[in-house]
Amino acid sequence: MLKIDQLCVRYTDGNQVLNQLSFQIDKGETVGIVGANGAGKSTLLMSIVGILLPFEGKIVIDGLEVNKKNLREVRERVGVVFQNPDDQLFMSNVYDDIAFGLRNYGVDEEVIKIKITQIMETLDIDRLTNHHSHKLSGGEKRIVAIATILVMEPSVILFDEPTSFLDPKTRRKLMELLKGLSTTKLIATHDLDMALELCDRVIVLKEGKVFAEGKAKEVLTNEALMKEAGLELPFCLQNINL
Amino acid sequence: MSDFKKSILQITTLEELTQKKTPVHRLQPSVKLLITVIYLIAVISYSPYQVSGLIPFIFYPIILMTLGEIPFKPLFQRILIALPFTLFTGISNLIFNKEITLYVMNIGITEGMVSFCSILLKTILTVMAVLILISTTSINDLVYVMIGFRIPSIIVIQIMMTYRYINVLIGEISVMYHAYILRAPKEKGIKLKDMGPFLGQLIIRSFDRADRIYNAMKCRGFEGDILYARKEMISTKSWIYIVTVGCLLILMRLVNISEEIGKLLM
């Protein structure tokens, strides 16, 4: 379970990005975080993994509070899939990229080999084992980036704009993959259609605060609410004149 | 093809060369690194006024290139990139050191000319040795060998990250350059007055990117050290190679073979 309690985050330039943010995510839930640009979505994700310490308020993950002393444990429990997979794939080949996290946590090399084989088979990327990360296509990079997190078996996975830069086919493939994951997921996204399809609940951020919260089908179909939050209805619900 | 794409292609060509299966490629990475280091030390340790002693050292890279099936042209193109810096450094020797040291066919050869040739030859030999090493050994293997040799993690990480992200950097420069040119169609390249903001933006973007990458590494437990190194036992064959070639290089360094051959012929 992930619990955020009165979270306030201020950047060094004095900009208050998150203001007394509070919500809770239960085990196994898929929750979408939506909001206009600058609403604080990415800041929230970075705070959860302790990148933006210190902050005011509390973040608790499965009973473990996020603070400087617990960062190693927190980051073992929470995986982050970054918006740009090039930021996340920094080893020279796919195998070493996926193994990176496990090695940092002292997992035996034989066990690493087994885990990587399993995850690559599951994601249908075993053909990429010895490929150079920088030579992969955008979609392949995204899937490999997810593999680097899944292999660590975190209890919570945070996604920052997972469908950005993806073509429709790869986007669909990614969504099917996310649907099949039973792990607790928090997805920060502008892709409201994806949020509508994938998320159990949606939290709408506005100016660093929770503006609205509820079932995805109720929140994302409320045109007035979405407009007030600086958003619009998902494309699938809009009347588009062709 | 744009110049930037050509640059990326040049980098990937070297990567592709490491995939070959030749006697040189089959040598253990630690052996190749060790011998390269011995070679570099032997070459660099010559005084600036010794040229004849360096000449036998040309044969080692030529033999490796032949056995490793490494094409000469791509290597030579990369050596040419390093030469302007050497020429710039060596030119001061030509200008300021004019003491005549010997005459060749009544032409006075100054100490400046000798040291200039020495610097040039050393550059060519050392750059060739390093290029042959990275053409026959994958960067991964080199990184793990360096960690095994207890080279500080910070240095190894710098090498690894530079190699990994140079393509990204060139790609970024390419995008920025094209964005510039499309809004300045009459210009051939970036104007000098715009070079400052262009490079400044590139530096800022690089810092931002580095920050994001570092955060991604921290999120996967990175704490400054590369914890993993493949334990590589050096085989008997490899030891024989190290001792043989190492001794040969040391002998070539201690004994001026060119001079000895010259004495024999005279």
- B54 and B171 in a single domain? The answer is no
Is B121 found in the same domain as B40?
Answer: yes
Cβ distance of A104 and B220 shorter than 8 Å: yes
- Average pLDDT estimate for B222-248: 81
Q: Is residue B168 part of a domain?
A: yes
Model pLDDT, residue B132: 92
**Residue A153: closest C-alpha in chain B:** B220
In a domain, B68, yes or no: yes
Q: Is the domain of B117 the same as that of B210? A: no
**pLDDT score for B86:** 84
Assess if residue B105 is contained within a domain.
yes
- Residues of A with Cβ-Cβ distance to B15 under 8 angstroms: 132
More confident residue, B162 or B231: B162
Position B5 in a domain: no
Lowest mean pLDDT among A39-43, A118-122, B123-127, B189-193: B189-193
| Region of poorest pLDDT, from B7-11, B123-127, B193-197 | B7-11
Q: Is a pLDDT exceeding 60 seen at residue B2?
A: no
* Closest residue by Cα to residue A166 from A132, A198, A143: A143
B112 plus B173 within the same structural domain:
no
Domain membership of residue B130 (yes or no) is: yes
Specify if B110 maps to a domain.
yes
Hey, is B226 helix, strand or coil?
Answer: coil
The boundaries of the domain holding residue B122 are 20-137+236-254
Residues B133 and B151 in one domain: no
* pLDDT tens-digit series, residues A196-221: 999 999 999 998 889 999 999 999 99
Kindly state the tokens that stand for A177: 């993959």
Of A241, A200, A240, the residue nearest A220 (C-alpha): A200
Task: Confirm if B40 and B54 have CB atoms less than 8 A apart.
Answer: no
* CB contacts, 8 Å: A106 with chain B: 227
Contacts of B240 (CB under 8 A, 6+ apart): none
CB contact under 8 A, A87 and B209: yes
The answer on B197 and B174 residing in a single domain is yes
- Cα–Cα distance measured from residue B48 to residue B51, given in angstroms and rounded to the nearest whole number: 8
From A219's Cα to the closest Cα of chain B, the distance in A is: 31
Q: Under a CB-based contact definition with an 8 Å cutoff, are residues A201 and A216 in contact?
A: yes
Indicate if B109 and B30 belong to the same structural domain. yes
Count the neighbouring beta carbons within 10 Å of the beta carbon of residue A209: 15
The yes-or-no verdict on residue A192 having pLDDT over 80 is yes
Grade residue B171 by pLDDT with cuts at 50, 70 and 90.
confident
Identify which of A93, A101, A134 has the shortest CB distance to residue B220.
Answer: A101
Res B260: pLDDT: 82
pLDDT at B1 over 50: no
pLDDT in tens, A87-102: 888 887 899 899 999 9
Would B132 be classed as within a structural domain?
A: yes
Strand B100-104 vs strand B107-110: parallel, antiparallel, or unpaired? Answer: antiparallel
Q: Alpha-carbon torsion B74, B78, B84, B86, what sign?
A: negative
Facing residue for A76 by CB, picked from B138, B165, B221? B221
**Are B68 and B129 found together in one domain?**
yes
User: Would the pLDDT of B3 be above 70?
Assistant: no
Q: Return the residue of B nearest to A149 by Cα.
A: B220
User: What tens digit of pLDDT does each residue of B87-133 get?
Assistant: 888 888 888 888 887 777 888 888 888 888 899 999 999 999 999 99
Same domain, B210 and B188: yes
Taking CB atoms and an 8 Å limit, are A103 and B168 in contact across chains? no
* B15, B167, B213 ranked by CB distance to A90: nearest: B213
Contacts of A79 in chain B (CB under 8 A): 219
| pLDDT attached to residue B64 | 92
Residue B7 inside a domain? The answer is no
State the pLDDT confidence band at A104, using cuts at 50, 70 and 90: confident
ipTM of the complex: 0.84
Residues B126 and B240 in one domain: yes
Q: How confident is the model over A106-148, as pLDDT tens digits?
A: 899 899 999 999 999 988 898 998 888 878 888 899 999 999 9
Question: In terms of domains, do B187 and B127 share one?
Answer: no
B198 reaches A (C-beta below 8 A): no
Which stretches of chain A sit within 8 Å of chain B by CB?
46, 49, 51, 71-72, 75-76, 78-80, 82, 84, 86-88, 90-93, 96, 99-101, 103-106, 109, 132-135, 148-149, 152
**For chain B, what is the domain count?**
2
Residue A242: per-residue pLDDT: 65
Q: What distance in Å separates the CA atoms of residue B234 and residue B241, rounded to the nearest whole number? A: 11
Percent of chain A with pLDDT over 90: 55
- What local confidence, expressed as pLDDT, does residue B190 receive? 83
For position A28, what pLDDT does the model report?
93
**Structure tokens that stand for B42 in this block:** 């032997």
Q: What is the mean pLDDT of chain A?
A: 90
Rounded Cα distance between B216 and A218, Å, is: 34
Distance CA A140, CA A137 (A): 5
Per-residue pLDDT for B228 more than 70? no
Residues in A closer than 8 angstroms to B139, CB to CB, are: 92
Which residues of chain B make contact with A93, given a CB cutoff of 8 A?
140
Per-residue model confidence (pLDDT) at position B36: 95
Distance CA B61, CA B39 (A): 10
d(CA A107, CA A215): 39
Q: Does residue B30 share a domain with residue B114?
A: yes
